[in-house]
Amino acid sequence: MDVRDEKQVDAFFSGLEQLDVLIANAGVARDGLVASLNADDFADMVNTNLRGAFLCARAALKLMVRQRHGHIILIGSRAARYGPRGQSAYAAAKAGLVAFAQTIAKEYGGRNIRCNVVLPGFMETKMTAGLTKDRKEAVLTEHALDRFNTPENAARFIAFLARLDHVSGQVFTLDSRIDRWA
């Protein structure tokens, strides 16, 4: 389904009888400096990365509230914390996911519904395939373990997190870049 299309999202979720875990991982990235970033590209990134998560979470919450349990896991990005050069729209949308998750955690925790954000780290995926070898090597130098995360490792962590019934409103970073506390 196209997560940007409210009718498609609502139709998909209305066909479900039960939903234990939602993993909102749709995302797009188009880099560009703010002054030269196309407004349509900015809107598409926000619509896909943030609004799409909102539409899916809202639809999922209807089921989860009725069930009195559920877990929403939003896939964010380290860009949300650091606003990298050339990624204003992507970073803004991913930062919005953090606040969105914490709000859901507070609003629905009393109904036994959890919401967390996973920052999977840099991975070799379709989204990063177009980066130059030099750029990938530069990112790799930031990693203490001198390697990138993998989709398989991210999936294992997400499956583990989905089973933790006491964790909500948190952000989990899954790579070896060491960040300052404040």
**Active-site positions?**
90
The rounded distance, in Å, linking the Cα atoms of 25 and 4 is: 13
56 three-class SS: helix
CB 119 within 8 A of CB 76: yes
**Torsion sign, CA atoms 53, 59, 63, 64:** positive
CB 73 within 8 A of CB 23: yes
169 three-class SS: coil
CA-nearest of 159, 58, 168 to 113 is 168
- The helix (run of H) or strand (run of E) holding residue 115 is strand 113-119
CB within 8 Å of 24: residues ≥ 6 apart: 3, 52, 53, 56, 57, 72, 73, 74, 75
